[in-house]
Structure 1
C-alpha cells in the first residue's frame, strides 16, 4: 500500500503509511514537522504509535542537528534471527525443557551474568572506547550501579518489557531462533544523560519548542560530537549484546537432550530499530533517526516481529525513498501497558497464547497480543516498502 495520507501542518510534510494512527501520534508527528532542521519530510510507518516526544514508528531525517529523545533510551534496540538445520518434526512435543534451558543460560529481567560472558579483545576494545566517553562525562558513571562491572555483565542478557527470545517455525517447517533486545542499562543511562544535556543546551529556546522532549544538539558543538560518539558506542554494544545472546541460546539448545545435533544456516540478520546514522536521501547527507523502524534498503534483509502469539516476518527491503528506505519494526502497540493490564487478565493471556510455550502470569499481561496492532494489517500497509521472504510462527517465547 502506498502512502495513506499526508499531514501538512508544519515546515515539512509527514507521509504516513497507514490510516490507523491515533490523535496523540498525529500531534507528535505535527510537532516534529515544525522543527527547522528536518530534511524533505517525515515518514511514519504502519506500526506508528505515541512515544516520548517523538512518535514510535517514525523516520526523522535531520540536517545539522540530532534529537536524543527521538533515538530514545533503549539505544540500538533491535532484532537478531538465524535459521537452523532443524525441522519442526525434530522438536519434542513438550517444549518446556527448551524454554527452561534458554532461561538458565540467558539472564532475563534485572538479572545479569556473574562475570562477563564476552572476554578478550572485544571487551577490552569496548572498555577503551567507553572510557573515552566517561572521561569527558564522568557523571554517567553515577547513573549505573557498579558501572564498570555492570555493563560487561549485562552483555548477553535479555532485559524485560517487550524484549524476548523465541523459537519459531517458518512456512517450510524450518526452525529459527529470533530475539529482541538492546543496549541494556548502559544504553539507558547514556540516553537519559544526553536527553537532559540537550534540554540544557537549548536553554531559553526549550520553552519555544512544541515539546520539551524535542530538545536537540546542533552540529559543531561539543555535546553534539560527544553524543554521536556515545550513541555509536551504545549501538555497537546492543549489536554485540544480541550476538552474544544468540551464541548463548544456541549453546543452550545444543545441550537439550531432546534435540538432534544441528547447525546454523548462512541466513542470519542482526538489525537495529532505535538508532541514528548518516545516510544520503533526496540529494543531501542527513542524520536519519529511526525510532521504532528498521532500514529497508533495496535487497536488505530485516525482521518484523509480531506480538506473543502472532506471526513474525523475515523481509527484504524494496528501497522506497518515500520512507527513507525504512519499514516498521513490529506490530506496534495499540494501547499502553497500563491500559493492557486494566483490560486483560491471565485467562486472556492463556487464550491468546494457546499452543505457545511461554510465561502466562500477570507479570507479562501487558505484552498480551491484544495490546498490539494486527501484524497482518501492518504488513499489508507496507507492501511498497518490503517483500516477505519468510513467515514465522513462534512455538517458544522467553520474556524477562
Structure 2
C-alpha cells in the first residue's frame, strides 16, 4: 500500500494509513505541525498514528533551522531492542511463571514511593557495572562527565541527573516492557522497550518549558502552544541538541544493560543453550532527532514514534502484549523519510481502556501469555491498541518482515 494525502498546512501531510483508524484530533495536531514555516517538503504519518502530548505519535517531521522539543517529547531515545537466542520451544517448561518472576527481580520496573528512596523501579543500590558503564572513558569523556557539563549550564535538570546511577538498567513505567517471544522457527527471542528514564524526561520537560518561555518573550503566536520551537544558531539550541544526543545514547545503553540482565536470567534457566546471542541484535530508537539528508536539504528529522527504515536497516515493530511483533528490514522509501511505524498504536486512551476493558476480556486476550492478568495492566491490554496486522498491511512499501514473533512472557513497566 502507498501513501495517502491527509491534509495540508504550509506543506502537505502524507500518511501510510490505509485500513487503519486515524482519529480527528490526531489529524488536527498534524495539520498544526504542517503549518509551521520551517517544515521541509512534507510531514510523513505512520500507520500507528494517534494523538500524543505535544505532537502526534507516529509522525516524521523534517525541520530546517529549528527543532520543536515537544515533538520529540519527554521519553527521549525511547526504543526497542531484540536478541535471538539459542533456546527453542522444546526447551521451555510448561509453566513460565518462575522465569517471569526472575526477570522481574533482575530488572527494576514500575514506580512507587513517588519515585523516592523506596521506588521499586530504581536500584536501592546501583550495581557496580552501572557505575562502570557511566564512568567509562575509552573514547572521550564519560557519560557522567558529559552530563555534568550539561547540568553546569542548566542546573534545572540536576536533581534528575543525580539519579542516573540508580536508573540505568531499569525499565520504567507505562508501555515499557520486557518480553520473551517465539519466532516461526520455534526459536526464543528477548525483546524489550524502554527509554532514557527520569533524566530523559527531565531534559525533555525542561527544554519544552524554555522554548515556551521564549515564544512568549518574542510574542510569537503558534497554532498550538506545544509547538514552541528553539531556533538553530542560538545557544539554547546547541545545548538542547547536546542534551538530546546524550539522552539518546543513555537510552540505548540502558536497553543494552537490561538485555544483559535478562540474558543472565535465561542463562541460569537454560544453561549452555543461549548460543551466540549477537546473531540478530537490534537496538533502535523510535523517539529521537537525527541530522539527515532528505529532498535536497540537510534537515533535523524528528521521528516521534517512528523507526528509521533505510534500505537494509533492521527494525522492531511490536504489537500489544497478547498479539504478535515483527523484526523488519527497511526498504528505504524516500517519501516516508526512510521510516516505518514503531508499533501498533493506541486505539484507546489509557483512561478509556481502563473504563471499557474488563478483566475477563484482558485474560482472554492474553491467553497463553505469562503476564499480569489484573487491573494494573488494563490500559495496556490488546484491545487498547490497533490491530497489528492492519498496521503491517498499511506499510508494505516501507518494510519487509524478516521474523514474526509471538509473545510468551511479558513484564510490563
Same-fold status (TM-score > 0.5): yes
1:4: how far off?
Answer: 2.6
Structure 1 stretch 270-279 or stretch 338-347: which is displaced more? 338-347
Match of residue 262 from structure 1: 274
CA deviation profile, 1:289-341 (whole Å, cap 9, x unmatched)? 00000000001000000001010000000000110000000000001000000
8 Å CA contact 1:85, 1:265 repeated in 2: no
- Who is 1:308 aligned against? 321
Quick one: which of 140, 146, 154 aligns to 2:157?
Answer: 140
Equivalence for 2:117: none
Provide structure 1 residue ranges, at least 5 long, that are not aligned to the other structure: none
The within-5 A match list for 1:55-134 is 55-110=56-111, 111-113=121-123, 114-116=125-127, 117-120=129-132, 122-124=134-136, 125-134=142-151
Identify if the C-alpha distance between structure 1 residues 207 and 37 changes in structure 2 by more than 3 Å, giving closer, same or farther. Answer: closer
Query: 1:206, 1:240 → 2: CA distance?
Result: 40
TM-score (normalizing by structure 2): 0.93
Q: Paired residues, what number? A: 394
Task: Name the structure 1 match of 2:7.
Answer: 7
Q: Which one of 229, 240, 264 corresponds to residue 216 of structure 1?
A: 229
Paired with 2:271 and 2:95, the residues of 1 have a C-alpha distance of 12
Query: Compared with structure 1, are the counterparts of its residues 102 and 366 closer, same or farther at alpha carbon in structure 2 (3 Å cutoff)?
Result: same
Query: Which residues of structure 2 form unaligned runs of 5+?
Result: 112-120, 137-141
1:121 CA drift (Å): 5.6
Counterpart secondary structure, 2:36: coil
Name the counterpart of 1:384. Answer: 397
Runs of 4+ in 1 over 4 A off after TM superposition: 204-207
**Within-5 A mapping of 1:178-327:** 178-204=191-217, 208-256=221-269, 261-263=273-275, 264-327=277-340
* CA distance, structure 2, for counterparts of residue 35 and residue 223 of structure 1: 20
| Cα-to-partner distance string for 1:5-33 (whole Å, 9 max, x where unaligned) | 3312x100000111421100110000000
Partner of 2:23: 22
Q: Distance in 2 between matches of 1:65 and 1:314?
A: 33
Q: Cα offset for 1:123?
A: 2.9
The alignment partner of 1:80 has SS state of strand
1:341 aligned partner: 354
1:266-289 per-residue CA deviation (whole Å, 9 max, x = no partner) reads 110000000001000011100000
Counterpart secondary structure, 2:280? strand
Contact 2:289 2:302 (C-alpha < 8 Å) held by counterparts: yes
SS in 2 for 1:278: strand
The 1:206/1:237 distance shift into structure 2, 3 A limit, reads farther
CA distance in 2, matches of 1:94, 1:108: 22
State the shift of 1:122 in Å.
4.0
Any conservation in 2 of the 1:92–1:259 contact (CA below 8 Å)?
Answer: no
CA contact (8 A) 2:54 2:73 kept: no
Counterpart secondary structure, 1:166: strand
For the residues of structure 1 that align with 2:67 and 2:165, how far apart are their CA atoms?
28
Distance 2:398 2:342 in 1: 12
Question: What is the rounded CA distance, in whole Å, between the counterparts of 2:32 and 2:408 in structure 1?
Answer: 41
| Structure 1 residues 95 and 164, CA gap change in structure 2 (3 angstroms) | same
Compute the displacement of 1:253 (Å): 1.2
Displacement, 1:229?
Answer: 0.3
